Amino acid sequence: MLIETPYPAQLTDKERRCRQLLPQVPEALWLPSVRGGTADFRNKAKLVVGGRPGSVTLGILGRDGEGIDLRDCLIQEPGIRHAIPQLAAFIEATGLAPYDVPRRRGELKFVHLTLAPSGDLMLRFVTRTEQALHVLRKALPDLLERVPRAAVVSVNLLPEHKAVLEGEREELLLGSSLEMELGDVSLHLRPQSFFQTNTAVARALYAQAADWVAAEGPDSIWDLYCGVGGFALNCAAAARTGAAAMPRVLGVEISESAVESASRSAADAGIAAEFVAADATAYALGAPAEETPHTVIVNPPRRGIGAELAAWIERAPAHRVIYSSCNPESLAADLAAMPSWRVRGARVFDMFPHTRHLEVMVLLERRV
């Protein structure tokens, strides 16, 4: 954590790092960075349940495996901070024992909270056994009395002793998805779907991509690694308000749950976008050349798009690429593998203040 470093210095360091890793971007093409804030900015919390019955902690584990309480951490949005003490009291009332990592016993492992701009909450309890699921289902009325803004409540089963945040099985107790309102588009977020951790910066990220797309007026867009459809739907909404005809929009994402969420959001917004559950690289490599879109948007995980997809973009007859990256090192490697493309715009989005992590987005066009 860099929280002791003054925020302007944090942002300057991140900008300097991006410029050093991406020397092919002229200084004039760097847009002003989007600031992430110093407090009250994080829309989700993934809290370890520690301590013991009668003295529950919600936060992280220390090196000795004991819980360290972080319920007053100021980086969380106020709606999350206000809910955490009520959640702790609820956990105490259930009698469920926090999972003891060193001794490998207990029930509750994590509580995940996500806050929508409306103030509604998604609450996810990660437990070890079915017994804890039954207890939490029976105690749902008490939970809703303590946390009335809970709109989605689920239990995730993680019986194995593994260093992961959740298991594969998810049981819904209340609702189905949390609505993340982002201007003209609301995104439906299901319990196991990914969404950016800073809502204000996510809005700016999607808006920047939509501006770049609208300026070109493409007839077709692919959003690879589309998640719940943030880029695809915001770009389509921006095109709909302009003079140009609505482009054909396709999103590709390996998570079926995320694709279901994106399809629902598109239907609610009246946007004719198609979403496919598939591996992004495999889909692009298997598509006929004549289906290659005008604009390709990629938003990969930290490892980047990799050699195969970079090679496909290098030879594909697309006109523009928007690459949003949470890892400037892998972005630099991927751009080096695509020499036929040049950067026409770049921007740093400080999605993760007080850490070394950031989001950087570049606009690419084919060299003439």
Q: What is the pLDDT of residues 126-178, one digit of tens each?
A: 999 999 999 999 999 999 999 999 999 999 999 998 888 888 899 999 999 99
- Same domain? For 226 and 347 the reply is yes
The single residue listed with the structure tokens 């995104």 is: 187
145 annotated as a binding-site residue:
no
Cβ atoms of 247 and 239 closer than 8 Å: yes
Cα gap 277→253, rounded to integer Å: 5
Q: Is 326 a catalytic residue?
A: yes
Task: Single out the residue of 346, 271, 240, 183 nearest to residue 251, CA to CA.
Answer: 271
* Domain membership flag for residue 239: yes
168 annotated as a binding-site residue:
no
Q: Does residue 1 surpass a pLDDT of 50?
A: no
- Same domain? For 205 and 286 the reply is yes
* Domain membership flag for residue 141: yes
- Any idea what DSSP says for residue 316? S
* Domain membership flag for residue 188: no
Q: What is the pLDDT of residues 136-145, one digit of tens each?
A: 999 999 999 9
CATH number at residue 80: 2.40.50.1070
Q: What is the pLDDT of residues 18-72, one digit of tens each?
A: 999 999 999 999 999 999 999 999 999 999 999 988 899 999 988 888 889 988 8
Residue 169 is predicted with a pLDDT of: 93
**From 18, 226, 235, 326, active-site residue:** 326
- Same domain? For 212 and 140 the reply is no
- Same domain? For 314 and 351 the reply is yes
- Same domain? For 236 and 337 the reply is yes
Residue 224 is predicted with a pLDDT of: 98
- Same domain? For 61 and 135 the reply is yes
Cα gap 367→349, rounded to integer Å: 26
Q: Does residue 242 surpass a pLDDT of 60?
A: no
Cβ atoms of 8 and 30 closer than 8 Å: no
Residue 177 is predicted with a pLDDT of: 96
Task: Look at the chain and report how many structural domains it folds into.
Answer: 2
Q: What is the mean pLDDT of residues 326-339?
A: 97
CATH number at residue 281: 3.40.50.150
Residue 53 is predicted with a pLDDT of: 84
Cα gap 125→130, rounded to integer Å: 12
Cα gap 220→318, rounded to integer Å: 10
- Same domain? For 157 and 277 the reply is no
Please indicate whether residue 73 or residue 240 has the higher confidence score (pLDDT).
Answer: 73
Cα gap 147→154, rounded to integer Å: 14
- Same domain? For 226 and 101 the reply is no
Q: What is the mean pLDDT of residues 253-266?
A: 94
Boundaries of domain holding 132 = 44-176
* Domain membership flag for residue 192: no
State which amino acid sits at residue 137. R
Tokens for 184, please give them: 């003209």
196 annotated as a binding-site residue:
yes
Q: Is 299 helix (H, G, I), strand (E, B) or coil?
A: coil
